[in-house]
Amino acid sequence: MPTIRETILTALHARLSELPATALRGDVLPERVPPDGLLILRDGEPGEPEVTLSPVAYHYQHRAEIEAVVQGADRDATFDTVCASVGAVLAADRTLDGLCDWVEAEAPRPVDLPVEGAASLKAAVIPVILHYTTADPLG
């Protein structure tokens, strides 16, 4: 039986997979970036939970990360489209079908990455904060 954390991350990856950009989870950057862009979900850090007693509950603000990468002549527009689509898919269901209390993204900080012999990449990490509660920090 998967943990709450794994269930939430799987649901987030499923939402990202609905977008035109290719969505991966925990993979390395492939040699070629698809024309519609690439999203790589990183599991991130759950951080220190707030704990309530009776019954015991652990309240997390888990910080996952989505690496957004685009390449090509129109990379600025493609990057904007990819980031906006991530924002739209998160805003459409802030609880991931009730798995989270709240899901919110932070603004990306884009960088240009030169690639020898190819068009440069435009990339950014989009932090995503997953607010959820569990009865067991390992569960």
For residue 120, pLDDT beyond 90: no
Q: Which domain holds residue 23?
A: 4-134
- Specify the pLDDT at position 114: 86
pLDDT digits (tens, 9 = 90+) for 43-66: 999 999 999 998 999 999 999 999
For 47, other C-beta atoms within 10 Å of its C-beta total 11
Note whether residue 13 is domain-resident. Answer: yes
Note whether residue 23 is domain-resident. Answer: yes
Note whether residue 139 is domain-resident. Answer: no
Between helices 75-92 and 4-17, what is the axis angle to 10°? 130
Q: Which two tokens stand for residue 129?
A: 């904060």
For residue 139, pLDDT beyond 80: no
Domain with 116 in it: what CATH number? 3.30.70.1700
Count of structural domains within the chain: 1
Burial of 65 (0-12, 13-18, 19+ CB in 10 A): middle
